[in-house]
Amino acid sequence: MKIAISGKGGVGKTTIMALLAGKLRQQGREVLVIDADPSPHMAQTLGVGNAEEVKPIAEMTKLLAERAGKSEGSPFYNLNPDVNDLLQDFMIKHENIRLMVLGAVQVAEGGCACPENHVLRKMLKKMLLTAKEVVLLDMEAGVEHLGRGTVAGVDQLLIVVIPSRSSIRTALKIKQMAEDVKIPRVLFVANMVQDEEDRQFLIDALGEEPVAFFPDSSTIRKAERSETAIIDLEQGLEDAPEQLLQAVNAK
């Protein structure tokens, strides 16, 4: 089972992915979490020790350039870099969960980091295709990653949406692009839902009912502010994590 998550920025993708990882762990499943967000903070959300010291692979620009065989002033680089040792050396193990913090290479306007991004994509593809455990992929916000084919190999895409018009517009664009690249299952997950009016607004605007409704939770806000692990939170979430677990396990 290989699950990616996306949505407009600020809708709570990382939080929901961490809660799903916690439920899968409770089932005794082995889980690989890949943080491919440009501003990764999955390590803190999962409760990894010394999370502030975890450096995303994307920030190791010298290492990535060397692995790509990039030479200064040359447009050529290795199209098939060996990444097996990188997957071993930078994989973080936390209880029954493995975490790889990829991040995303950021470049100034007009710049190009094609070789470095190529190495990151090779690492991601390798993990998606060879992992034996459940894979959870936390991606960057928006729709561009789908156009780049980043999610090739996933069998489910969770689109997180909150009760706002802008979030819904982004969610519907993501769904259309996901269908265009033929992701087998595309599911909406509602977050920050306060009442029945919010629930009905989302159902009407999306044209279907989300598989889970996560409440607007003060428990989660307090945990984030205090940098407390969110993965095992139960209080104040109603039965949303269980709803999501049942949905992704359904065939």
DSSP string computed for 119-160: HHHHHHHHHHHH--SEEEEEPPSSSHHHHTTTTTT-SEEEEE
Our CA angle for 152, 36, 237, nearest 5°, is 100
Amino acid at site 8? K
Q: How many domains does the chain have?
A: 1
Structural domain including 140 reads: 2-57+93-107+130-249
What are the φ/ψ torsions at residue 73 (nearest 5 degrees)?
A: 85, -5
What is the distance between the alpha carbons of residues 151 and 178, in angstroms, rounded to a whole number?
9
Q: Are 64 and 115 in contact (CB under 8 A)?
A: yes
Residue 112 lies in a domain: no
Look at residue 223 in the predicted model and tell me its pLDDT.
83
pLDDT in tens, 90-108: 888 888 888 888 887 554 4
Residue 158 lies in a domain: yes
Q: Are 156 and 1 in contact (CB under 8 A)?
A: yes
- The whole-number mean pLDDT for each consecutive block of 10 residues of the chain, a chain of 251 residues, reads 90 92 90 85 83 80 77 59 81 85 60 67 82 86 66 87 96 91 92 96 97 90 82 81 92 67
pTM, two decimal places: 0.85
Residue 62 lies in a domain: no
Distances (CA, A) of 75 to 39, 56, 65, 68, 128: 28, 25, 12, 12, 28
Residue 138 lies in a domain: yes
Rg value, the chain, Cα: 18
Look at residue 113 in the predicted model and tell me its pLDDT.
57
Residue 129: burial class (beta carbons within 10 Å; 0-12, 13-18, 19+): exposed
What is the distance between the alpha carbons of residues 230 and 205, in angstroms, rounded to a whole number?
29
Residue 195 lies in a domain: yes
pLDDT in tens, 161-180: 999 999 999 999 999 988 88
Residue 118 lies in a domain: no
Residue 84 lies in a domain: no
Q: Is the dihedral of CA 192, 150, 247, 28 positive or negative?
A: negative
Residue 231 lies in a domain: yes
CATH for 37: 3.40.50.300
Look at residue 109 in the predicted model and tell me its pLDDT.
40
